[in-house]
């Protein structure tokens, strides 16, 4: 209703209800709707609205005119339209739901395919990583085994070399001066100490004895001393005119090398004399002229053997005129040289 229309009387609703009472008995909607088309239904609705508007306009102090009678046949065409729209909406809803379900199924299928592909890729990657790790471990094991085999072979070679060296040293000790001298020194060292102590005790006891004075002996007449030709007895090893001394030296060295005498007289070599030792001594006599030093043999016992042979040859040639001087930087080495010379030459302290 418009705002400029006059306000109706408060008793207007009562009049309207009174006007509508003749049509109180309205048939059912189904009966009313039957037989009407949508156009007729629309016309009926419009006429109803016009009647309502006219009723409002006539709501003045005058009495409200009664509305035209509504018939069931005017309402029947609206029912098929409502049913059709509802069916269309239901079909659209069903179609949308079907499409949604189909889309969800398609997405589910795609997701399952992706999951399967990812699982397959994961399995393949794990297999490749395991294969690489296994290959790496096998390669490391092979390299480690190869290195161990090489070390084993090197150790075996070293052990064989050491065993051969041990056998060679044992054979040398059994047959050469080093072994014989060391063995004899070990065997007789204790006995020598005992003998030295006993002799010292014997000397001290003899000095304490009171002996009767010895009978006076006639002094022997000293023979005339003959002048010694120092020039003739001087070492002349490098000169060719002293063939006799050269022959004598070679003969002594051959005797020491071929016919060793382990129980010979004092100042004679009592050890095994090898060709290499004889070569060093001959070189010192004939090449160096009895001067200078002799090249070391790498072993103190071997050096003592060569020095003993040289001293023995010089003692044979010069007898009592030979004086031997041993120099050492420590008392221990001097003692070793003294004991070695005593063993090789059969001399006392």
Q: Residue range 239-259: average pLDDT?
A: 80
Q: Which of 74-88, 158-172, 316-330 shows the lowest mean pLDDT across its residues?
A: 74-88
Calculate ∠ Cα 169-158-277, nearest 5°.
Answer: 25
Average pLDDT, the chain: 72
Calculate ∠ Cα 230-232-236, nearest 5°.
Answer: 110
- pLDDT at position 317 over 50: yes
More confident residue, 46 or 291: 291
Note the pLDDT of residue 316. 87
- Residue-wise pLDDT for 213-223, tens only, equals 555 555 555 55
Q: Residue range 292-316: average pLDDT?
A: 86
- Residue-wise pLDDT for 252-296, tens only, equals 888 888 888 888 788 888 888 888 888 888 888 888 888 888 888
- pLDDT at position 249 over 60: yes
Note the pLDDT of residue 327. 82
Determine the Cα–Cα distance for residues 349 and 339; give it in Å rounded to an integer: 9
Note the pLDDT of residue 212. 56
Confidence bin at 349 (pLDDT 50/70/90): low
- Residue-wise pLDDT for 71-121, tens only, equals 544 545 555 555 667 777 888 888 889 899 999 999 999 999 999 999 999
- pLDDT at position 300 over 50: yes
Determine the Cα–Cα distance for residues 140 and 129; give it in Å rounded to an integer: 16
Question: Closest Cα partner for 272 from 308, 298, 238?
Answer: 308
pLDDT-above-90 percentage for the chain: 19
Determine the Cα–Cα distance for residues 306 and 314; give it in Å rounded to an integer: 13
Q: Which of 54-58, 99-103, 172-176 shows the lowest mean pLDDT across its residues?
A: 54-58
More confident residue, 80 or 147: 147
Note the pLDDT of residue 6. 43
- pLDDT at position 303 over 80: yes
pLDDT-above-70 percentage for the chain: 60
Specify whether the CB–CB gap between 12 and 59 falls below 8 A.
Answer: yes
Specify whether the CB–CB gap between 73 and 34 falls below 8 A.
Answer: yes
Confidence bin at 144 (pLDDT 50/70/90): very high
Note the pLDDT of residue 202. 78
Burial class of 12 by CB neighbour count within 10 A (0 to 12, 13 to 18, 19+): middle
Q: Which of 38-42, 121-125, 164-168, 200-204 shows the lowest mean pLDDT across its residues?
A: 38-42
- pLDDT at position 209 over 60: yes
Give pTM, 2 decimals.
0.34
Q: Residue range 314-322: average pLDDT?
A: 85
Determine the Cα–Cα distance for residues 165 and 161; give it in Å rounded to an integer: 6
Confidence bin at 36 (pLDDT 50/70/90): very low
Q: Residue range 292-311: average pLDDT?
A: 85
The phi, psi pair for 68, rounded to 5°, reads -65, 150
Q: Residue range 155-175: average pLDDT?
A: 86
């Amino acid at each position: 209703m418009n705002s400029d229309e006059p306000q109706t009387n408060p008793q207007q609703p009562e009049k309207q209800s009174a006007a509508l009472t003749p049509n109180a008995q309205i048939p059912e909607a189904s009966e009313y709707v039957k037989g009407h088309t949508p156009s007729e239904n629309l016309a009926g609705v419009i006429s109803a609205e016009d009647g309502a508007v006219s009723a409002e306009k006539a709501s003045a102090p005058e009495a409200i005119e009664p509305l035209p009678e509504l018939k069931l046949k005017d309402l029947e065409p609206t029912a098929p339209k409502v049913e059709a729209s509802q069916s269309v909406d239901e079909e659209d809803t069903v179609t949308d739901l079907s499409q949604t379900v189909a889309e969800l199924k398609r997405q589910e299928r795609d997701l399952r395919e992706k999951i399967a592909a990812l699982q397959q890729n994961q399995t393949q990657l794990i297999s490749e990583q395991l294969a690489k790790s296994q290959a790496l471990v096998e390669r490391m094991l092979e390299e480690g085994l190869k290195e161990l085999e090489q070390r084993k072979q090197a150790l075996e070679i070293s052990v064989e070399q050491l065993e051969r060296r041990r056998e060679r040293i044992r054979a040398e000790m059994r047959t050469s001066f080093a072994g014989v001298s060391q063995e004899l020194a070990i065997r007789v060292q204790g006995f020598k100490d005992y003998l030295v102590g006993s002799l010292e005790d014997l000397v001290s006891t003899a000095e304490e004895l009171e002996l009767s004075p010895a009978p006076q002996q006639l002094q022997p007449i000293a023979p005339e001393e003959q002048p010694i030709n120092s020039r003739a007895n001087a070492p002349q090893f490098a000169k060719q005119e002293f063939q006799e001394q050269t022959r004598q030296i070679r003969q002594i060295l051959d005797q020491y090398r071929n016919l060793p005498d382990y129980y010979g007289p004092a100042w004679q070599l009592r050890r095994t004399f090898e060709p290499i030792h004889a070569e060093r001594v001959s070189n010192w006599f004939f090449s160096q002229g009895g001067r200078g030093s002799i090249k070391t043999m790498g072993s103190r016992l071997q050096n003592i053997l060569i020095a003993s042979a040289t001293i023995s040859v010089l003692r044979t040639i010069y007898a009592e005129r030979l004086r031997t001087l041993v120099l050492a930087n420590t008392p221990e080495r001097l003692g070793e040289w003294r004991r070695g010379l005593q063993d090789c030459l059969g001399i006392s302290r």
